[in-house]
Amino acid sequence: RDGYYAYHTGADLNLNQPYWDADRNKPVKSIAKGVITYAGYLSTNWGYTVVINHGSFVSRYSALASGLPVSQGNSVVAGQQIGNVGRHKANEPYHLHFDISLTRKLIDDPGDWPALDKGRLLRDYTDPLQFILEHK
């Protein structure tokens, strides 16, 4: 929203090389095995979203294209396609919003957003790149 500021919970991943929106409709895959706790449309702020409980952490993939190939309750394995790169709104670039929580917050509330509460951001979310590099 115009004039609305908030801390970002993860990473917006987009590929604009060799051309703008080069990642449009590209596959999005699960980073690890787990169980899908949410798969569907959340809001114009999130678009189509998949949340996966991996046991020791939870991952959220948002701004996906419609037509998700998975449903709540499905088990997934690492590398399994769970969606395609989309966008929240028609006037935004194609991208994947990706974040990781070490808490149950995303299981209880798939659209969680700590806004300007930095303490909650630091408590409920972790840097996804750092997490992946430390756990590969």
Quickly count: other Cβ atoms within 10 Å of residue 77's Cβ. 10
pLDDT tier for residue 4 given thresholds of 50, 70 and 90:
low
Q: How far apart are CA 69 and CA 17, in angstroms?
A: 27
Output the average pLDDT for the chain.
Answer: 92
- pTM listed for this prediction: 0.92
Residue 132, SS3 per DSSP: helix
pLDDT at 5 (0 to 100)? 60
Q: Mapping DSSP to helix (H, G, I), strand (E, B) and coil, where does residue 121 land?
A: helix
> How many H helices and E strands in the chain?
3, 8
pLDDT digits (tens, 9 = 90+) for 34-85: 999 999 999 888 999 999 999 999 999 999 999 999 999 999 999 999 999 9
